[in-house]
Structure 1
Amino acid sequence: MRRRRTRRHRNIRKVEKAVSMSDLLIKLSGSRFGAGVVKLLGLPAPVELARSEGPYAEQPLTGKKILLGGSQNGYAMERLRQIARDAGAVPLESADGGPDILIMDATGCTNPSDYRALYDFFHPLMRSIARNARVLMVAALPAASGDPIAAATARGIEGFSRSLAKELGPRGATVNLAYVASDAIDRLVGVVHFFCGVQTTYVTGQALHVTSQVAAPASLVYHGALKAKVALVTGSARGIGRATAERLAQEGVQVICLDIPAASAALHETCRAIGAIPLLLNIASPDAPRQLMDFFKERFGRLDILVHNAGITRDKTLANMKEQSWDQVVDINFSAMAAIDRMLLSENILRDQARLVYLSSISGVAGNFGQTNYALTKAALIGYVAAQAPLLAGRGICVNAVAPGFIETAMTRDMPFMAREIGRRLNSVKQGGQPRDVAELITFLCTPGACGISGETIRVCGQGLVGA
């Protein structure tokens, strides 16, 4: 049985790789002859992005060359240095050799003159930064300052980081910003591990807030922290849901994969491959919340991780949209999730320190033609996590949303050629993401190391220019 599961697991990975390899421009750019053709035609030359296929390592930055810089009077430098050292990173004294990781402590930037520290650190390095490098900037929380100049100065760093991400994106490098409260610097451990590690492949140009509002767990251990946890992933027969279930299973999570009865064959195949438990259920049915509550109460007595991935599209312009299409999308993409949450929270099935992750969309950030119903629900989820987060913080529960951009799936593969090519290139890394890239961010948000992050919506879009 073990051998059969392993074979099927490999088959799933082969399918995902086949989708990724359909991007012919990456193939051309990687060959000497093809690179010349790409350059002659003036096409973008996307690099092959670094990815991991395994679980978290005990020291995720082992062997990576790192440079740290900082502004005067910053409050995070020593902690950042310690985290990087404990994670196995190799400190560099200069840019010689090309750094793999750059961390900038900008928490001391309180007036415009402090911005010079950003220029002095990054300017000499720009031509030597390695392919697939990782850049993490840390700034003070703008809202924590009572001085408008200091608040504005901190907020300006976001514009710098997003622009830097666009400059470095063609190399496959990522740039992200963490606003961190002065009493939450210990919660940077997981942030450094993820945003300086290989798993942040398609997450770039993002800004998140790290605070102490959520009660912290006893340990912020990253490696092996999810073993024996119980997770429910809805809509997990295929695509992002399947990749998420697979990724959580790699970390030792007992995954329950839920999908509609029509997806039974695909769901059971996924579950056999990763050792998950299948659950056939339409989440929009009136009794779905009660059925889920009874299932987890009887089988496990609890639920540690809930990933609301299930969703549908019924695309039409508003003038041509039928009532049924409107209602179906609202019911499944938002109303059903809220009803399930109410039941599981009221019955204490979702335990303290639980993690809730919701699949929003770039459409919910920027809107999309012909998707008024879909964008409505995905924007609603962004508002939902922001409102839920402070209500559940006292129980140590983190609530976040993930907003994918152009992800290479069977659906995008069937798009018209030109539409697909435009979707792939309209981001900083000039290519589509993989379901695994979304699953990596979801999995990180489920770890104890993400306890400083709640109420956030983080995009997995390669810094897509639409909604970037």
Structure 2
Amino acid sequence: MADAYLKLVNSPPASVIAKKLGLPRPTELRRYRRGQPMVPGPVLVVASGAAEGLSGQLSGWGLEVRRRTAPGEKLGAIVLDLTTVSDPRELSEPMLAVGASLRDLAPGARVVSISRPADSASEPAAAAARQGVQGAVRSLARELRAGATANGLLLADGMDLADPGALGALQFLLSGRSAYVDGQFLLVGPGADQLPEDADRPLAGRTAVVTGAARGIGAAIAKVLHRDGARVVCVDLPAAGEELAKVSNAAGGTALQLDITSDDAGARILEHARSRYGGLDIMVHNAGITRDKLLANMDQARWDSVINVNLAAQLRINEALLASGAGQAPRVVCLASTSGIAGNRGQTNYAASKAGVIGMVGASAAAFAERGGAINAVAPGFIETEMTARIPWGTREVARRLLPSLQQGGLPVDVAEAVAFLAGDAAGGVNGRTLRVCGQSLVGA
């Protein structure tokens, strides 16, 4: 669903009028386009210690690196290396250096911090400093404007910035693929062997299955995975056969009409992928439904149908994937929701199912890792879909503009980009995690 207000205030003379009246002026986000630069300008590196290694990595990607800003120069990104901080007082100098350069950011710029997880620190001061980074960066994200975002990487102790997993996650957060990821921290551990050889086709040669692919976010996921080189199996109910065929044709793949709640759904998915493509590398659990009612008015049929489609079906299919003896387990990406994190009025059943997805992902990580795979989740927030189009106009407009800095809903492609990242080698060090794609808001489903 198009955001008419966003288009209006980005066109003359409405943009001038909106500025004079002090109205919200959301900026069209910088999204990925093949062949575009990773960032829209030079990258400023701010570090608590030596920065030569980080600067060298960024230069190796063809980026212009700065250690200080030049007068009048617009920055495409600021990368803040805080991996060595061990006391909260050490945050002052680098954070204030970032603050002094914020006015130099170009539209659609990125700020990315790199630090360590607080729960792995052995000393209280180090834990305080590491947790302080998260509070500072999340708050900074709310101060940025013109489509700029701020996010953070948490590197497991023992890892450094030369690790392929760290580099892959950094590339994602700097690029246009992360346009609607804001104020988030992604924990990266060991496990990534190498980065994709072709950054524009990182899933080349992989076979992916996407459930609920006939429309909305599922259709966007199928198309982005195809764009990135994957062979795509599009799955949806027989009733959605016509729409499913259109999406599978657009994605250059095959269609599988299937009720994912059936007991043999996992076996049928595996058989289709093996018979057509020789195996399964990526499994995307996107299919989901809502049956909203206040809990006082909820009946068992509404409750059970949502749990069965959104959660129980994923559990059964995952069991089939792990039980399969052929090759390594796939990389699995599950669709959760910010409703499962913050709750949402009238969605106790939906929120239970999506919170359950997050719990399932964390508990399943070890089993998938043992088989050479991984499992993660994406939690969308306010995404412009048929679902959010049913929200009353006034509520929908307020939800869009209340987003701290982006002031707009996300698009299905924003969720698809996060799914594609987690499905590939660039996310080889990410397992058992949930990445929010919500513009730093917990509004919507």
Please indicate, yes or no, whether the TM-score normalized by the shorter chain is above 0.5.
Answer: yes
Which residue pairs with 1:459 in the alignment?
436
User: Which of 127, 145, 158 pairs up with 1:183?
Assistant: 158
Counterpart residue identity of residue 338, structure 1: L
CA spacing shift, 1:353–1:61, aligned 2, 3 Å: farther
2:23 pairs with 1:43: yes
CA spacing shift, 1:66–1:140, aligned 2, 3 Å: same
| Aligned-partner Cα distance in 1 for 2:401–2:372 | 39
Counterpart residue identity of residue 81, structure 1: S
Check conservation: 1:99, 1:130, Cα contact below 8 A: yes
| Aligned-partner Cα distance in 2 for 1:178–1:340 | 31
Once the two structures are TM-superposed, the CA of residue 178 in structure 1 deviates from its matched residue by: 0.7
Check conservation: 2:365, 2:431, Cα contact below 8 A: yes
Aligned pair count reads 437
After superposition, residues 128-207 of structure 1 pair within 5 angstroms as 128-168=104-144, 170-185=145-160, 186=163, 187-207=165-185
Which residue pairs with 1:308 in the alignment?
285
Once the two structures are TM-superposed, the CA of residue 138 in structure 1 deviates from its matched residue by: 0.3
Structure 1 alignment gaps of length 5 or more: 1-18
2:212 pairs with 1:235: yes
Which residue pairs with 1:9 in the alignment?
none
Once the two structures are TM-superposed, the CA of residue 40 in structure 1 deviates from its matched residue by: 4.5
CA spacing shift, 1:207–1:63, aligned 2, 3 Å: closer
| Aligned-partner Cα distance in 2 for 1:352–1:231 | 14
2:268 pairs with 1:291: yes
- Give RMSD over aligned pairs: 2.0
Check conservation: 1:235, 1:259, Cα contact below 8 A: yes
Check conservation: 1:388, 1:455, Cα contact below 8 A: yes
Check conservation: 2:400, 2:408, Cα contact below 8 A: yes
1:406-432 residue CA offsets vs partner (Å, 9 max, x unmatched): 111233234321021022122130001
CA spacing shift, 1:322–1:139, aligned 2, 3 Å: same
2:262 pairs with 1:282: no
Which residue pairs with 1:7 in the alignment?
none
Which residue pairs with 2:395 in the alignment?
419
2:368 pairs with 1:392: yes
CA spacing shift, 1:50–1:98, aligned 2, 3 Å: same
| Aligned-partner Cα distance in 2 for 1:352–1:378 | 27
| Aligned-partner Cα distance in 2 for 1:49–1:388 | 34
Counterpart residue identity of residue 212, structure 2: G
| Aligned-partner Cα distance in 2 for 1:438–1:363 | 15
Say which SS state the counterpart of residue 132 (structure 1) adopts. Answer: strand
| Aligned-partner Cα distance in 2 for 1:83–1:436 | 28
Which residue pairs with 1:410 in the alignment?
386
Say which SS state the counterpart of residue 281 (structure 2) adopts. Answer: strand
| Aligned-partner Cα distance in 1 for 2:197–2:329 | 14
Check conservation: 1:66, 1:90, Cα contact below 8 A: yes
After superposition, residues 65-464 of structure 1 pair within 5 angstroms as 65-72=42-49, 77-96=51-70, 97-168=73-144, 170-185=145-160, 186=163, 187-212=165-190, 214=191, 216-217=192-193, 221=197, 223=199, 224-349=201-326, 351-352=327-328, 354-428=330-404, 429-464=406-441
1:80-113 residue CA offsets vs partner (Å, 9 max, x unmatched): 3233112221123532312111100011211021
Once the two structures are TM-superposed, the CA of residue 465 in structure 1 deviates from its matched residue by: 5.0
Check conservation: 2:291, 2:302, Cα contact below 8 A: yes
Check conservation: 1:60, 1:193, Cα contact below 8 A: no
Which residue pairs with 2:32 in the alignment?
52
Counterpart residue identity of residue 56, structure 2: Q
Check conservation: 1:217, 1:396, Cα contact below 8 A: no
| Aligned-partner Cα distance in 2 for 1:125–1:98 | 10
Counterpart residue identity of residue 151, structure 1: A
Say which SS state the counterpart of residue 352 (structure 1) adopts. Answer: coil
Once the two structures are TM-superposed, the CA of residue 181 in structure 1 deviates from its matched residue by: 2.1
Say which SS state the counterpart of residue 131 (structure 1) adopts. Answer: strand
Which residue pairs with 1:4 in the alignment?
none
CA spacing shift, 1:27–1:289, aligned 2, 3 Å: closer
Task: Give aligned-pair identity as a percent.
Answer: 40
Check conservation: 2:322, 2:329, Cα contact below 8 A: no
Once the two structures are TM-superposed, the CA of residue 220 in structure 1 deviates from its matched residue by: 5.0
Counterpart residue identity of residue 4, structure 2: L
Once the two structures are TM-superposed, the CA of residue 294 in structure 1 deviates from its matched residue by: 2.7
Say which SS state the counterpart of residue 104 (structure 2) adopts. Answer: coil
Counterpart residue identity of residue 264, structure 1: G
CA spacing shift, 1:203–1:360, aligned 2, 3 Å: same
| Aligned-partner Cα distance in 2 for 1:154–1:167 | 21
Check conservation: 2:363, 2:432, Cα contact below 8 A: yes
Say which SS state the counterpart of residue 167 (structure 1) adopts. Answer: coil
Check conservation: 2:41, 2:74, Cα contact below 8 A: no
| Aligned-partner Cα distance in 2 for 1:360–1:79 | 36
| Aligned-partner Cα distance in 2 for 1:53–1:107 | 31
Once the two structures are TM-superposed, the CA of residue 395 in structure 1 deviates from its matched residue by: 3.3
When structure 1 is superposed on structure 2, of 216-225 and 369-378 the one drifting more is: 216-225
Once the two structures are TM-superposed, the CA of residue 306 in structure 1 deviates from its matched residue by: 0.4
1:263-289 residue CA offsets vs partner (Å, 9 max, x unmatched): 111100111122110000000122222
| Aligned-partner Cα distance in 2 for 1:181–1:221 | 25
Check conservation: 2:329, 2:373, Cα contact below 8 A: yes
